[in-house]
A = this chain, B = another copy of it.
């Protein structure tokens, strides 16, 4: 191989790897998954991921350098968002590959969920039908902002943080399905766990909004569905 060709090849793989490396840090993966829920400010991201603001900022710089996220000034703060849908798709692809490879990942999830008796996640195809027929109340337990940025049609926003105080809005007898950010997000697990302890018939939808939209399924945005709907 000519020297020129070798240099070309090296440079090429270098560039590809740079994108890959940005995605290849547990911390940054978490940030990306968080941003897949919707735009956030640095402070919000830092708080959510339990990291220092400076550290979070640095990770965001790395992601930005790889053009995986974009940033926009909003008054006194900076709002980060994913650069485009391909990034989400890529993250999902990576996760799928990891699942296929690492048996441990599946085992880990099963252990964690089995501990709490939350294994049975509701099938997505089935869900839409049940929602449409009013047989089930779907609640979105993520923070309100994420709900507003996009949610499963017909879902009602009941952030986990507010769950305790809004139990009166929930049906005692008919089933409830909770969802959050995806299979590795613990909000819905937590919510279902609490609801069951209180006697509700609650189940968990494994898919989150990113999975949902990646399947080409529709999303609603904006409006808040308050009590009264499927109750």
Binding site for B on A (CB under 8 A): 1-2, 4-6, 8-21, 23-27, 29-30, 50, 66-68, 83-84, 86-87, 89-90, 93-98, 100-102, 104-105, 108-109, 112, 184, 186, 189-190
Identical subunits present: 2
Quick one: given A19-B101, A90-B94, A102-B18, are A12 and B108 in contact (CB under 8 Å)? Answer: yes
| Closest Cβ–Cβ distance, residue A81 to chain B (whole Å) | 15
Tell which of B2, B11, B90, B112 touches A93, judged by Cβ atoms closer than 8 Å.
Answer: B90
Q: Known contacts being A29-B16, A108-B15, is A9 close to B184, with CB within 8 Å?
A: yes
**Contact between A93 and B95, CB atoms less than 8 A apart:** no
Residues of B within 8 A of A96 (CB): 86
When chains A and B are docked, how far (Å) is the Cα of A67 from the Cα of B101? 6
Q: Min CB distance, A42 to chain B, in Å?
A: 19
- Give bound CA distance, A148 to B50, whole Å: 53
Contacting pair B29 A13 (CB below 8 A) = yes
Closest CB in chain B relative to A82 CB, distance in Å: 12
Across-interface contacts of A94 in B (CB, < 8 A): 16, 19-20, 90
Q: Is A8 a contact partner of B67 (Cβ separation < 8 A)?
A: no
Chain B residues contacting A29 (CB-CB under 8 Å) are 13, 16-17, 20
| A98–chain B nearest beta-carbon distance, Å | 4
* Cα(A61)–Cα(B27), bound, Å: 25
Task: Give Cα distance in the complex from A29 to B184, angstroms.
Answer: 28
Given contact pairs A87-B97, A90-B94, A112 touches B8 in the complex (Cβ within 8 A): yes
* Interchain CA distance A25-B17 in the complex, whole Å: 6
Closest chain B residue to A97 by CB distance?
B90
- Extra contacts besides A5-B190, A6-B50, A93-B93 (12): CB < 8 Å: A2-B186, A13-B27, A15-B102, A15-B104, A15-B105, A16-B102, A17-B26, A17-B29, A18-B102, A67-B101, A90-B93, A90-B94
Instruction: Identify 23 residue pairs between A and B in the complex whose beta-carbon atoms are under 8 Å apart, listed by A's number.
Output: A1-B50, A5-B186, A5-B189, A6-B50, A8-B108, A8-B184, A9-B30, A9-B186, A12-B109, A13-B26, A13-B29, A15-B98, A15-B105, A16-B94, A16-B98, A16-B102, A17-B24, A19-B94, A67-B102, A84-B100, A86-B97, A87-B97, A93-B93
